[in-house]
């Protein structure tokens, strides 16, 4: 259990990295946007301010999930992590819709003052920086199996793409093609909404105790090969934050003693921990009819 809480603590570091990056990059974009008369860069900067809220939601969710079990939450608070990812998906969807609305409005407003080309360079530098944050958080999220941090990483990737889109629009304006800015923004907005939908779908699937059937078959195979197990009457599994809870009813020889049945249960728990990194297994032993 100590390792699980330590992994969550590592996830908090990733969320803090995201927040720090958004604060620095949003300030940089806003200042440069005003200096170089770039509405695309200004919009990107304000977008990053919104992303600070999403990263804060992830950080708060991780902090809550690190709380130990209590009388009201005997399984712990690990699902706060999944709820944080769900909240991040809502914020991302709102940002995506806002990007599309602003792009359509800009398309109908017509020509604007041409921004300085320097602003495109600023957008690309920020995109590279945010891509670095994305790679860091994605690798960390995979290593510690953290759903909320993976949602934050996907948000980082979306913001890197937004900055690339802003750069494309700025360059297009230099050639008298302001519509490229709006077209790129609409594409970026749709990408953000698609990413938000993927996170929302995965989060709701986990919160409603959905579990991958192929993984369940792997668990069943491991339990079936345990010495002394003569059958599996029932098997259930669900995701609880960054780990899995398993409930299984196994059948054993009816003439076994209680001690022998207990040893089989211990063996199942050890195999599940060793082969699948599952720490919580509830085994019920029944006599084979």
Could you report the per-residue pLDDT of 106-121, keeping only the tens digit for each?
777 765 666 778 888 9
Position 280 scores a pLDDT of 87
Question: pLDDT, tens digit, for every residue of 71-117?
Answer: 888 888 888 888 988 988 898 888 888 888 887 887 777 656 667 78
The model's pLDDT over 131-157, given as tens digits with 9 standing for 90+, comes to 999 999 999 998 888 888 888 898 899
Question: What pTM value is reported for the model?
Answer: 0.77
> What mean pLDDT comes out for the span 198-205?
90
The stretch 33-43 carries a mean pLDDT of 79
Q: Average pLDDT, stretch 257-269?
A: 93
Question: Which element (helix H / strand E) includes 218?
Answer: helix 213-224
pLDDT at 1: 47
CA angle 211, 212, 217 (to 5 degrees): 110
Measured over the CA atoms of residue 130, residue 29, residue 119 and residue 159, the dihedral's sign is: positive
Structure confidence at residue 48 as a pLDDT band (50, 70, 90) = confident
Contact (CB, 8 A) for 271 and 222: yes
More confident of the two residues 213 and 2: 213
The pLDDT score that the predictor gives to residue 111 is: 55
> Residue 2: its pLDDT value, please?
44
Average pLDDT over residues 188-215: 88
- Name the packing angle between helices 118-144 and 2-35 (round to 10°): 170
pLDDT of residue 112: 60
C-alpha distance from residue 122 to each of 117, 119, 165, 169 (Å) = 9, 5, 12, 13
In whole angstroms, give the CA distance from residue 109 to residue 160. Answer: 26
Strand-pairing partners, residue 250, are 232, 285
Q: How far is CA 180 from CA 47, 123, 149, 206, in A?
A: 19, 16, 33, 39
- Mean pLDDT for 160-173 is 85
Max mean pLDDT among 32-36, 115-119, 158-162, 255-259 falls in: 255-259
Given a cut of 90, is residue 285 above it in pLDDT? yes
Quick: pLDDT tens for 237-252.
998 877 789 999 999 9
| pLDDT above 70: residue 7 | yes
pLDDT for residue 110: 62
DSSP label at residue 208: T
Q: How far apart are CA 128 and CA 163, in angstroms?
A: 9
């Amino acid at each position: 259990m100590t390792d699980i809480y330590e992994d969550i603590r590592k996830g908090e570091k990733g969320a803090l990295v995201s927040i720090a990056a958004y604060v620095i990059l949003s300030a940089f974009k806003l200042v440069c946007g005003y200096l170089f008369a770039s509405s695309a860069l200004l919009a990107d900067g304000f977008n990053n301010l919104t992303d600070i809220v999403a990263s804060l939601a992830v950080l708060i969710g991780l902090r809550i999930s690190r709380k130990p079990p209590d009388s009201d939450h005997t399984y712990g608070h690990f699902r706060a992590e999944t709820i944080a990812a769900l909240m991040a998906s809502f914020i991302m969807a709102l940002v995506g819709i806002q990007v599309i609305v602003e792009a359509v409005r800009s398309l109908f407003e017509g020509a604007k003052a041409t921004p300085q080309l320097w602003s495109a360079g600023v957008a690309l530098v920020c995109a590279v920086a945010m891509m670095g944050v994305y790679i860091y958080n994605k690798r960390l999220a995979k290593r510690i199996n953290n759903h909320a941090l993976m949602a934050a990483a996907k948000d980082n990737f979306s913001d890197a793409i937004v900055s690339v889109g802003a750069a494309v629009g700025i360059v297009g304006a230099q050639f008298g093609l302001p519509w490229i800015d709006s077209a790129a923004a609409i594409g970026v907005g749709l990408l953000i909404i698609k990413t938000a939908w993927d996170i929302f779908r995965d989060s709701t699937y986990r919160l409603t105790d959905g579990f991958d059937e192929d993984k369940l078959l792997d668990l069943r195979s491991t339990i079936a090969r345990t010495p002394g197990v003569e059958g599996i009457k029932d098997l259930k599994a669900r995701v609880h934050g960054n780990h899995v809870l398993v409930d299984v009813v196994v059948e054993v020889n009816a003439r076994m003693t209680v001690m022998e049945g207990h040893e089989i249960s211990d063996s199942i728990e050890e195999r599940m921990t060793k082969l699948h990194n599952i720490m919580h297994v509830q085994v019920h032993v029944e006599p084979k009819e």
